[in-house]
């Protein structure tokens, strides 16, 4: 709030908004004083210099304490003149303030203001529908404030209904635009560009402005990820068609590397195997523990009748279940049965 007020005062100053109200109230003051001195008798202390400015202030603001007051018809007319002048001045001031606030709001909607934010998430790039989905997932996971950066072809804030999402518009490769988004004060950046070439250009700009940020980049061609490692080997690249993976990497840095390792041939891979018929009714925890101890495998999911199950540790597995697990090799039904029966 103080930051907003400072910027508002600066804007008012630049627009010379105080000029006309000050002129009006100044003319009323300078003309009403001699008129009051002419209309009121000498014994009325209202016309004394030490009193008149105070009476003028409370009368022009329509407060009217009543400690000083005119006693003649002419003095009353001067009082009316001061009241009208005060109302006119206040109207001009409030009109200027309302205009400045509306202009400031318009600038924010157009993404032209400098944002006073920190410890936020910056998203660079806007794709209708996709960006809304990303933000819905991020806010659903408890992400704090978000700044959306878009190119000039996005005329105004595309998500004004989200109070936690601010907007910056311009050339996203320019340092001044990135700083308006507070990128130098953020810890997380999502580069969701229109194509992979643009993504690489934005990543170079981001790492220049904030080399310590955790940068996640969505790519159409994951084969180009090595180009991003030349920029910064801490940049995390995820598949553009898996927006959920991008949000998970932002929330839990490093999880994209885990997924990549699981999907890479060699080492520990993901496999599936039907549950041996002799193990029907066995508790899920027993199967999980036996495969872990016997083969260093981890059961990721259980499927039955085409539906994925989310079994608890003591839940008996129904006949016909399929185990999905991570391990160093594919296990046979006999190996699984022998391990779980031991």
Residues 127 and 213 occupy one common structural domain: yes
- Would you say 281 and 316 are in contact if contact means Cβ atoms under 8 Å apart? yes
Distance (Å, whole) CA 215 – CA 199 = 11
- What tokens appear for 88 in the block? 């006119």
Tens digits of residue pLDDT in 289-338: 999 888 988 888 899 887 888 888 998 999 999 998 888 888 988 999 88
Q: How many CB atoms lie within 10 A of CB 87?
A: 13
pLDDT at 106 (0 to 100): 63
Distance (Å, whole) CA 312 – CA 285 = 8
pLDDT at 250 (0 to 100): 83
CA distances from 214 to 48, 250, 282 (A): 69, 8, 44
Residue 1 above 50 pLDDT? Answer: no
Backbone φ and ψ for 136, nearest 5 degrees, come out as: -60, -45
Provide the percentage of residues in the chain whose pLDDT is more than 90: 28
Cα angle, residue 105 at apex, residues 104 and 106 outer, rounded to 5°: 90
pTM of the model: 0.59
CATH number at residue 88: 1.10.287.70
Domain count of the fold of the chain: 3
- 322, β-bridge pairs: 274, 303
Residue 98 in domain: yes
Residues 314 and 254 occupy one common structural domain: no
Cα angle, residue 52 at apex, residues 51 and 54 outer, rounded to 5°: 70
Confidence of residue 10 (pLDDT cuts 50, 70, 90): low
Q: What is the mean pLDDT of residues 121-142?
A: 88
pLDDT at 5 (0 to 100): 41
Among residues 214, 244, 262, the one where a domain terminates is 262
Residues 203 and 308 occupy one common structural domain: no
Lowest mean pLDDT among 9-18, 61-70, 100-109, 246-255: 9-18
Residue 219 in domain: yes
Chain-centroid distance, C-alpha 161: 12
User: Domain residues for 150?
Assistant: 121-262
Distance (Å, whole) CA 134 – CA 252 = 15
- Would you say 296 and 271 are in contact if contact means Cβ atoms under 8 Å apart? no
Tens digits of residue pLDDT in 61-87: 878 787 888 888 988 898 898 889 888
- What tokens appear for 283 in the block? 């508790």
Residues 81 and 158 occupy one common structural domain: no
């Amino acid at each position: 709030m103080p930051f907003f007020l400072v910027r508002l005062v600066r804007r008012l100053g630049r627009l010379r908004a105080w000029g006309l109200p000050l002129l009006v109230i100044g003319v009323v003051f300078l003309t009403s004083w001699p008129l009051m001195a002419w209309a009121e008798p000498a014994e009325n202390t209202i016309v004394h210099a030490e009193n008149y400015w105070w009476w003028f202030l409370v009368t022009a603001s329509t407060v009217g304490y009543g400690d000083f007051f005119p006693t003649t018809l002419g003095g009353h007319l001067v009082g009316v003149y001061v009241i009208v002048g005060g109302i006119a001045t206040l109207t001009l001031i409030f009109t200027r303030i309302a205009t400045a606030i509306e202009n400031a709001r318009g600038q924010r909607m157009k993404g032209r203001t400098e944002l006073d934010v920190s410890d936020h998430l910056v998203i660079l790039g806007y794709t209708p529908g996709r960006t809304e989905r990303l933000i819905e997932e991020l806010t659903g996971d408890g992400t704090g404030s978000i700044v959306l950066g878009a190119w000039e072809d996005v005329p105004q804030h595309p998500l004004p209904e989200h109070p936690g999402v601010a907007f910056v518009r311009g050339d996203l490769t320019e340092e001044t635009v990135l700083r308006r988004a507070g990128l130098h004060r953020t810890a997380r950046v999502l580069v969701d560009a229109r194509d992979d070439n643009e993504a690489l250009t934005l990543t170079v700009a981001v790492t220049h402005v904030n080399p310590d940020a955790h940068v996640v980049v969505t790519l159409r061609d994951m084969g180009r990820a090595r180009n991003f490692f030349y920029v910064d080997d801490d940049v995390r690249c995820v598949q553009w068609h898996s927006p959920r993976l991008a949000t998970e990497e932002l929330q839990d840095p490093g999880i994209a590397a885990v997924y990549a390792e699981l999907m890479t041939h060699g080492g520990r891979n993901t496999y599936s195997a039907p549950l041996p018929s002799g193990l029907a009714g066995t508790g899920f925890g027993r199967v999980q523990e036996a495969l872990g101890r016997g083969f260093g495998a981890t059961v990721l999911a259980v499927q039955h009748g085409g539906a994925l199950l989310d079994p608890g540790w003591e839940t008996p597995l129904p006949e016909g279940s399929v185990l999905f697990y991570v391990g160093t090799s594919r296990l046979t039904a006999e190996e699984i049965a022998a391990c779980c029966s031991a």
